[in-house]
Structure 1
Amino acid sequence: MPVETITKAGRKRLRWTFERVINGQRYRKTKVFPAGTSQASADKIAAQWEAELYGLATGAIKRRVTIGECVVLHCKDCGGRWKDGDKRAQRLEKWQAYFEGDYTDDLHEWSKTFARVLSERGLEPASIRNVMAYIRAAIKYAYKVGMIDQDQTQRMVMPAVKNERHSYPKRKEMLEIARACSDRQARAAIRIAFYSGMRRGEILRAKPRKNGYLLEDTKNGERRLVPIHPRIAVLSRRIKFTITENKLGHEFAKARRKAGLEHVRFHDLRHAAASEMVNSGIDLYTVGQVLGHKTVVSTRRYSHLLSDKLAEAVGKIGRKTHTAK
């Protein structure tokens, strides 16, 4: 019989044991029922467990995969290639208890609960979204390698993040910060950022070519060529960057403080480049291509700068067109 009576801690308990060879593979599982479970209830539950095990063993029932299993597999197979591997591992380990036992076929409800729990523990929406993005990537990988049958990550409810800055330093402000900077490489990077729209890390690893700065590795994963503005052509030939991102950030912080422009961030210089292009009449699609945006969604943040042109366009509604005789 699969259900038998045993003595545990001096009390009689019911225990279910399953041991079979199915398709050449041995399966063994044992469970002890809670105290007070009747024989009839135990037999009924045991029959359900046995049917489920047979179904899983023969493939008639697909085993449910947990989010934790997907995360473990993803870290094991891909963790060595991640630039942020240590940070990702620490964050996932910290919140492991809230996802390791949940199933990948219930992502909608799980994601709502998970986001609420993290919010209650003081995390900002952006941080919650980052953790959930790590988990989403793990589930997508599990689907890619065949661990799960369906990719249901589109059902995850991700918290909305409204952290866009609308700070567009003018050329005068950029030059004031650059002149206040005592480090030659950092000073050059500040000017290049304003005249190219490149990110801090991109500036340091860009390879100057005759027709532009070549970026082999970008945020969106695509190769990019950024035209070299005449005002930084000399810098592109003379400056060979050896400074680190952290050192550049430190030097920039000192310079902006010295210039009395502490509100300006290095990344704002990228926004300034976009602003200069838009205000000069360049369309958003072209601006996005220069900045390396993969979709137009990222470039839409600059659409408000087109207000004058939009007003001009609306003003033409209903006007008669004159054709030459």
Structure 2
Amino acid sequence: MARVRLTKTLVDELQPPEKGQAFVWDSEVPGFAVRATASGAKAWIVQMRVRGGKERRMTIGFCNKVPLDKARQEARKVLATADLGRDPAQERKEAREVKPDLNPTLTEFATRWLEEVAGRRNRAGTLKNRRLLLKNHILPVLGEKRITDIRRKDIEDMHHGISKRFPVAANRAVSLCSAIFSTAERWGMLTENPANKIERNAEEGRERYLTPEEIARLQTALDQSQAQDSADVVRLLLLTGARVGEVLAMQWEHVDLTVGLWVKPAATTKQKRIHRVPLSPAAVEVLAKRQSAQKAKQRKGELPPWVFSGDGANGHMTTIRTFWAAVCRRAGIEGVRVHDVRHTFASLLVSSGESLPVVGALLEHTQAKTTSRYAHLQDDALRIATNRVAGITVSLQKQ
């Protein structure tokens, strides 16, 4: 069987046989060839011997769709697999015969994952974000592929495409894919996670804290607002450092104004565990005023279950996004998210000399590295302490 080194020009100029099929074998990769048929179709094929001496022939792809270098590379992989005693052709046939429920499309499996896994573990906000990532970025690219057909290159291409406009969202999309494929791997539907070892885009940590002047202007704007329910939410964010969702879901039964304590139930916290938060006198005052006002509205003086009652399906307020934008405009504050109020709370604690472990405990951080982002804010407090020691040393030297 004569062999020549296959080139694109040679394959393009190859004439179809009058009948049947003809092969031109590659001299560079033994067993690799181009097959031409009487109909004019040209395809890359690889021929090998598998365990037991059986000869197998497998199609890699059509020449007009798969470049020569890619086909030659795939042929080498197939031949190496056969050398290890496996039967690539039979494995491909079996993969195609896998029942759809054992090899679903990514859209089908992601739908199941959202219901059976994420739906039990994630909070409503996280679940909403994950649905949007799937809808806007992941499924339009990979949704119709069956999960066993998705390769690391597919994930990398998706990440690259999203990165052109949304580099951070591209990273989140890869992380979500990894979580989904990890479940498929755990359930025995995959042998490896194709979203592992994907290089992510560099992300700059966001550090935006309200300055003392901005806090003063914000408090004035809150006092002048007609929406005092939403204003009280922001006041408690400033005084507790809690997440906005936790404050909105606050219930009276979890608050003890006598001792100044708020016990967040596990269902409302990010870490899914109970978190005890000491309340300052200022925070107690905000809550006490709300309690008195709510009792006055009730005929029997009974409190509603929620500190911030609302018309939503859960019975409490669910967002202050519009209010936050309006109050920031009124206060002349730009570039601050409502979550940055939490960072401001932490920065004030650290700048005043409080230790990072204490700050982490108040913010419900489970890992020290999460709180370490505020370490640089200790500089002023440390400088004061250093100057104090220097003053003592100098005074002793003069004696």
Residue 216 (structure 2) pairs with residue 172 (structure 1)? yes
Distance, in Å, in 2 between the alignment partners of 1:46 and 1:103 is 17
Distance, in Å, in 1 between the alignment partners of 2:203 and 2:57 is 46
| 1:37–1:278 distance in 2 versus 1, CA, 3 Å | closer
Aligned partners of 2:106 and 2:139 also within 8 Å: no
| 1:39–1:75 distance in 2 versus 1, CA, 3 Å | closer
Equivalent positions of 1:103-252 (< 5 A) are 107=152, 111-120=155-164, 122-123=165-166, 125-151=167-193, 153-170=195-212, 171-207=215-251, 208-210=254-256, 211-216=261-266, 217-237=268-288, 238=290, 240-243=307-310, 244-246=317-319, 248-252=320-324
Distance, in Å, in 2 between the alignment partners of 1:114 and 1:295 is 31
Equivalent positions of 1:313-324 (< 5 A) are none
Of the three residues 302, 307, 322, the one matched with 2:379 is 307
Residue 316 (structure 2) pairs with residue 274 (structure 1)? no
Q: Which amino acid aligns with 1:274?
A: A
Aligned partners of 2:262 and 2:278 also within 8 Å: yes
Unaligned runs of 5+ in 2: 1-17, 23-34, 49-54, 60-77, 96-102, 292-306, 311-316
What's the secondary structure of 1:95's corresponding residue? helix
What's the secondary structure of 1:303's corresponding residue? helix
Aligned partners of 2:356 and 2:371 also within 8 Å: yes
Aligned partners of 1:174 and 1:194 also within 8 Å: no
Aligned partners of 1:194 and 1:270 also within 8 Å: yes
Of the three residues 87, 99, 121, the one matched with 2:132 is 87
Q: Which amino acid aligns with 1:190?
A: V
Distance, in Å, in 1 between the alignment partners of 2:43 and 2:242 is 68
Post-superposition CA distance 1:292-316 (Å, at most 9, x none): 2232222222111011344467887
Of the three residues 120, 142, 158, the one matched with 1:96 is 142
Post-superposition CA distance 1:135-180 (Å, at most 9, x none): 1111111122222334575522222211403223434234123113
Distance, in Å, in 2 between the alignment partners of 1:279 and 1:270 is 14
CA RMSD of superposed structures (Å): 4.2
Q: Which residue of 2 aligns with 1:22?
A: none
What's the secondary structure of 2:264's corresponding residue? strand
Post-superposition CA distance 1:242-271 (Å, at most 9, x none): 24344x221222222222234443222211
Higher relative contact order (CA 8 A, sep 6+): 1
Distance, in Å, in 1 between the alignment partners of 2:146 and 2:161 is 15
Aligned partners of 1:180 and 1:258 also within 8 Å: no
Q: Which residue of 2 aligns with 1:261?
A: 333
Distance, in Å, in 2 between the alignment partners of 1:189 and 1:97 is 40
Q: Which amino acid aligns with 2:279?
A: I
| 1:224–1:39 distance in 2 versus 1, CA, 3 Å | closer
Distance, in Å, in 1 between the alignment partners of 2:175 and 2:169 is 10
Q: Which amino acid aligns with 2:223?
A: R
What's the secondary structure of 2:276's corresponding residue? strand
Distance, in Å, in 1 between the alignment partners of 2:281 and 2:42 is 84
Post-superposition CA distance 1:34-81 (Å, at most 9, x none): 62569996975249799335457899xxxxxxx985664242143372
Aligned partners of 1:197 and 1:270 also within 8 Å: yes
Q: CA deviation at 1:277?
A: 1.2
| 1:186–1:150 distance in 2 versus 1, CA, 3 Å | same
Deviates more, 1:226-235 or 1:154-163: 154-163
Deviates more, 1:80-89 or 1:278-287: 80-89
Q: Which amino acid aligns with 2:237?
A: A
Pick the structure with greater CA Rg. 2
Of the three residues 38, 45, 64, the one matched with 2:57 is 45
Aligned partners of 1:71 and 1:139 also within 8 Å: no
Post-superposition CA distance 1:15-37 (Å, at most 9, x none): xxxxxxxxxxxxxxxxx986256
| 1:55–1:197 distance in 2 versus 1, CA, 3 Å | same
Deviates more, 1:277-286 or 1:259-268: 259-268
What's the secondary structure of 2:199's corresponding residue? coil
Q: Which amino acid aligns with 2:112?
A: K
Q: CA deviation at 1:218?
A: 2.2
What's the secondary structure of 1:45's corresponding residue? strand
**Normalised TM-score (structure 2):** 0.58
Unaligned runs of 5+ in 1: 1-9, 15-31, 60-66
Count of aligned pairs:
283
**Normalised TM-score (structure 1):** 0.70
Distance, in Å, in 1 between the alignment partners of 2:187 and 2:380 is 51
| 1:102–1:202 distance in 2 versus 1, CA, 3 Å | same
